[in-house]
Amino acid sequence: MSALAPTVLQEPGAGHVLPWEWGVALMLGFGLAWIALGVLWGRKAKSMDDFTVAGRNVGLGMGTATAAATWITSNTVVLAPVFALKWGIGGMLAYSSACLGLLFFAPMAQRIRKLMPRGYTAVQFMRMRFGKDAGMLFLCISLLYGFAWLVTMAMAGGVVLEALSGVPYIWGVGVVVSVCVLYTLFGGMYAVIGTDSIQSLIVLVGIVLVAVFVLREVPIAEIHGTLAERRPALLSWVLPVTLMAFFNNLLFGFGEVFHSNVWWCRALAMRDGVGPKAYALAALVWLPVPIVAGFLGLAAPALDVPVANPSAVGPLVAAHMLGTFGGVLVFVVVFCSIASSIDSLLAATSDLLIHDVSALREKARKPPSEAQLRWRMRLSIILLGLGAFLVSAPHWANLEEILFLSGGLVGSAIPPILAGLFGKRLNGQGAVLAMFFGSTVGVIVWFHHWYLGALVGTAVSGLLVLLWQRFDPSEFSGLPDPAQETA
Amino acid sequence: MSRIGPGALDVLISLGIAMCVLGALLIIFLIVRDAIRKQLW
């Protein structure tokens, strides 16, 4: 998941786990491999549908892998150990609750595919279901959130790779973003989904190897004994703070998944009937990742690893126990987890730019040809990558707060989306009102209690949706063919 | 008490590792199956 995104390694100079030459070689090696695969798979993309939604024919294997890989961000592997070191078992389990976002999206995926089998984006659905005003408001929320997630992932790439190998921050950001831009540019959704499949396997195998090697050095009983003696609170699985983290992660996760085009475009890319199974299986695949990664944080006190920077506890434990091999493993896992999220964001956000921003502007004029759309799609991917690089360059200290700010915004979108997908009584005015006031109150609350923004935004929006449906109900008769709107 | 013992911790971590391995195997199995049926994408 992307919440809490860039709270990563913050003292890059304090002891790298790999020589920088290794870092550069690994980045170049994997980068070139992804680009080559993007070019190879890009040959399949003959039409706009191929490029943006992989021909709408993605099977269960690729569908499961891409959903799991996209939800495994750098935070899942880097921040979960920090949660475990700070809040123990409860922290790990709270982090794992984010899998419920994917699980609950499973029935939505089926509904999305049924309602708009030829559609492209989440914003397109909101526009066709609730009208232009609701579409515009939802587009603003989606673009703000999507770009903030993209920038935080780019920043995480620079910071983590610098801390692991000493590669300068700006080079790390530049290489990660450039590699993702290039293979998405050449291969579109085929490249995104194909590389996601390989990246998901690398991440899963990588964290298992690290955990098994650590367990071979120190048995669980010894880790438990040390924690019971020195940090007994870490062995508790229910703490007030972990309950708070649980509900915050849960709602933010729901908002992130339910509204984001990253997940909608995958639902539209999967073959009919595949979406629900793929998202449910992806939730199960993702569920243990924070637990296994978090185990490294839990093991740190028992291993006497000097944790000068708690944000780096996972990589530090891996490097301490496994030396250069551990460093390489962690570097590869983090690189893959970041790339699998950035490529998805580039593809999904550029979809919004060409289908929603352009479509609104050009409604009265002649619709663009397929060749024009593909050219614009590629330009959007380049501009998004460039924008993410430029915004990431100053290395903002508080960008994660902006992502948390979006908690209220994305939370306010949950009730109208659900009412629009599964109900018939909510109209456009009600959707606009719910999103507007839900977002406003959520943001105001965020200024006082950041962890309540998503909860309050969702609650206010949900209440308004319920009231509006009761006092000004409408009867929705069905969506028009989305293809008529943009193609 | 909400504090877990060494046995429960062992089960939790072992289960996590086993689920990761099963997840990877599941993805490989599904992709190979789809490829054989020519339903990869």
- Tell whether ipTM is more than 0.90: yes
Structure tokens at A244: 């708070």
Q: Amino acid identity, residue B13?
A: I
Question: Do B24 and A271 count as a contact with CB atoms less than 8 A apart?
Answer: no
Residue in the block written with tokens 């921003």: A357
Question: Do B23 and A89 count as a contact with CB atoms less than 8 A apart?
Answer: no
Residue in the block written with tokens 């020519």: B38
Most confident option among A152-161, A289-298, A405-414: A289-298
Q: Amino acid identity, residue A49?
A: D
Q: State pLDDT tens for residues A55-93.
A: 999 999 999 999 999 898 777 887 788 888 888 888 888
> Of A405, A263, A250, which Cα lies nearest the Cα of A345?
A263
Q: Amino acid identity, residue A431?
A: A
3-state class of B3 per DSSP? strand
At A421 the pLDDT is 94
Over residues A30-38, the mean pLDDT reads: 93
Residue A17 has pLDDT above 80, yes or no: no
Residues 114-173 in A contacting B (C-alpha not used; CB under 8 Å): none
Question: Can you say how many angstroms the Cα of residue A417 is from the centroid of all Cα atoms in its chain?
Answer: 19
| pLDDT > 70 in chain A, percent | 90
Ramachandran angles phi, psi of A236, nearest 5°: -85, 135
At A481 the pLDDT is 65
> Of A66, A58, A54, which Cα lies nearest the Cα of A188?
A54
Over residues A414-419, the mean pLDDT reads: 95
Give the gap in angstroms from C-alpha A258 to the nearest C-alpha of chain B: 23
Q: Rounded to the nearest 5 degrees, what angle is found at the Cα of A90, between the Cα atoms of A87 and A96?
A: 110
At A73 the pLDDT is 79
Q: Amino acid identity, residue A451?
A: Y
d(CA A362, CA A380): 17
At A8 the pLDDT is 40
Residue A460 has pLDDT above 50, yes or no: yes
CB contact, 8 Å: A243 with chain B? no
- Which residues on chain B place their C-beta less than 8 Å from a C-beta of chain A? 1-6, 9-10, 12-13, 15-17, 19-21, 23-24, 26-35, 39-41
With beta carbons under 8 A apart, name residues in chain A contacting B25: none
Give the gap in angstroms from C-alpha B37 to the nearest C-alpha of chain A: 10
Q: Helical H runs in A43-73? A: 48-53, 60-71
Question: Do A291 and B3 count as a contact with CB atoms less than 8 A apart?
Answer: no
d(CA A205, CA A210): 9
**Residues in contact with A181: Cβ distance below 8 Å, sequence separation at least 6, in sequence order:** A346, A381, A382, A384, A385
> Of A340, A443, A369, A371, which Cα lies nearest the Cα of A401?
A443
d(CA A112, CA A259): 12
Residues 176-215 in A contacting B (C-alpha not used; CB under 8 Å): 190, 193, 197, 200-201, 204-205, 207-208, 211-212, 215
Query: Which of B2, B20, B21, B38 to substitute to test the interface with A, most A CBs within 10 Å?
Result: B20
Question: Do A295 and B10 count as a contact with CB atoms less than 8 A apart?
Answer: no
Cα atoms in the Cβ-side hemisphere of radius 13 Å centred on A384: 33
Helix (H) or strand (E) holding A393: none
At A2 the pLDDT is 52
Identify which of B9, B19, B40 has the shortest CB distance to residue A220: B9
CB contact, 8 Å: A295 with chain B? yes
Q: State pLDDT tens for residues A99-112.
A: 999 999 999 999 99
